[in-house]
Amino acid sequence: MSRKQMLPQGGGGLADDSGCPILHVDMDAFFASVELLDRPELRGLPVIVGAAGARGVVLSATYEARRFGVHSAMPMTRAMRVCPRATIIPPDHRKYTAVSRGVMEIFRSITPEVEPISSDEAFLDVGGARRRLGSPSAIAAMIREQVAEQYGITCSVGVASNKFVAKLASRQCKPDGLLVVPADGVVEFLHPLPVAALWGVGERTEQVLVRLGIRTVGDLAQVPVSTLQRELGAAGAHLAALAWGRDERPVVAHTPDKSIGNEETFPFDVDDPEAIRRELLRLSERVAARLRASGQAGRTVSVKLRRADFTTITRSRTLREATDVAKEIFATSCELFAAAGLDRVRLRLVGVRMENLRPAGTVTRQLSLGERETGWREAEQAMDKAIRRFGPDAVRPASLVRPPSGPMDL
């Protein structure tokens, strides 16, 4: 397994990481790397993880596939055109979730100051761990070794004085690398980079900057802030600060979810209301399970409905009380679907989301006069236990097991 380090400092010595408490750890081709653990014969070959078919998109690709131009979020049809010999593997999110949890536990064994960004990357503030574990670069090397030894995959780590520079550093040393950017070497590191490397520079912003003759971060750093604000609005001052490596954001150990949702793209457009309601049920089950797993409940139910022409409609309703019960989420989702007036309209995607979240322990259900407690929450908690023990197919609503012969019910 190759292990490379990029430590930019003259004389060939170790970089000065004394002012660099922030690490950005990013798994290399995470989903694909996890799949190769079960398929070692595919190592060194182009592999793409994603759903095959006209609607599928690339979720992950090995670096051998990336050399052909394959990248995440690319339509699968295009990926197969540019890399026709790639092996396509359907995603198995349960495997990725299990490995992700283990990797995050490695991070938290180093420091409690861990801010996950996604399932395969996180920021760490190791300032408080230096006395116990050594310098930031030594801690970064230890993390890489532990991830490789325990899970057989590689990660790249950027070590810097702030989150923005650390993330850029991890990107620069991919795959399987470690890059330290000393606090006094930030400008030297940033200014040769293309301006598109800055957070907030998308395709349109880049076009504006290129029109102004700005192609590198160094070019942008020399432009007056007033000019950038005139051309880009409030984003101008933000980009000016980043061009000089200024980023004051701390590592936030826990950011509560603002919403929890799931959505599904149909393999072909669907105009059958019963089929759509079945999918709303499936999504409501997933969302409710995720709410209970996170110890949260939500008051606002939102549905997302995307027509065949890509027009997207959202509808939401705030409940009297917060809930984590699939039956209640599903009932509201169906009402929102009906209110959208899309009966017999062809849909390509539906989604269910819960917003306005709060800790489930603070939620108390107020029964109306004469109303009886239904016990649905307890029943769904029992389903959670069965699923954890026997797998996701152990328990499910009858309407998701067989074609419905009558009105859908939970």
pLDDT for the residue numbered 151: 94
Q: Which fold has domain 191-243?
A: DNA polymerase; domain 1 (1.10.150)
pLDDT for the residue numbered 53: 79
Q: What is the CATH number of domain 259-363+372-400?
A: 3.30.1490.100
**Domain residue extents for the chain:** 1-185, 191-243, 259-363+372-400
27-40 tens-digit pLDDT: 999 999 999 999 99
pTM of the model: 0.68
**CA 50 to CA 358: how far, in whole Å?**
34
Which segments of the chain have a pLDDT < 70? 1-14, 255-256, 361-410
85-112 tens-digit pLDDT: 999 999 998 899 899 989 999 999 999 9
Buried b (16+ CB within 10 A) or exposed e, 356-374: bbeebeebeeeeeeeeeee
SS3 of residue 24 by DSSP: strand
**26 a known binding residue?**
yes
pLDDT for the residue numbered 3: 47
pLDDT for the residue numbered 317: 96
**E strands in 168-327:** 177-180, 259-270, 296-307, 312-323
pLDDT for the residue numbered 380: 60
Active site residue 121: yes
User: Which residue of the set 35, 113, 121, 380 is catalytic?
Assistant: 121
Q: Which CATH number fits domain 1-185: 3.30.70.270, 3.30.1360.200, 3.40.367.20, 2.60.120.10?
A: 3.30.70.270
pLDDT for the residue numbered 374: 54
Nearest to 115 by CA among 255, 246, 293, 295: 255
pLDDT for the residue numbered 384: 56
Q: How many residues does the chain have?
A: 410
Residues 6+ apart with CB under 8 A from 398: none
pLDDT for the residue numbered 371: 45
SS3 of residue 259 by DSSP: strand
Q: Which two tokens stand for residue 98?
A: 């299990």
